[in-house]
Amino acid sequence: MDRIQAAAEISIGRAVGFGALAIGTVVLGLVFDPALALKTGGALTLLMAAIIRLKAERARFQPYRSTEVWVILDRRLGLPDDHAQRIVSTTLRSVYDRYARASVAAAVGLWLLGLAFQMMG
């Protein structure tokens, strides 16, 4: 179970990291207007959270053999198929949910910071 959790963390963390890199690039491009940059970053991060949440809902229907977790685990789990499907999908959903909650928190923080910058200037 720990190996599956670690593989899910790697898989989802990498994807969220690339999303955050893209959002950061947009925010950096708008640095001439800090309030706009932060509010745009918040909106894009909220969009990313919604996509992550959608992926969490779809995780239970995705065959575990078609996930990146399966590839990371070197295509070996040593469990019966029905048991492996349940464990992998439950683990993926849990990790997706955690990343979605963190993304929502980051989005709210960015948006509030953008509002503060707007009020100051």
- Tell whether the model's pLDDT for residue 18 goes beyond 90: yes
Where do the domains of the chain lie?
2-120
Higher pLDDT, 53 or 80: 53
Q: Are the C-beta atoms of residues 103 and 45 closer than 8 Å to each other? A: yes
DSSP per residue over 51-82, as a string? HHHHHHHHHTTS-GGGSHHHHHTTT---S-HH
Predicted confidence at residue 81, as pLDDT, reads 85
Predicted confidence at residue 43, as pLDDT, reads 97
Tokens of 5: 């959790």
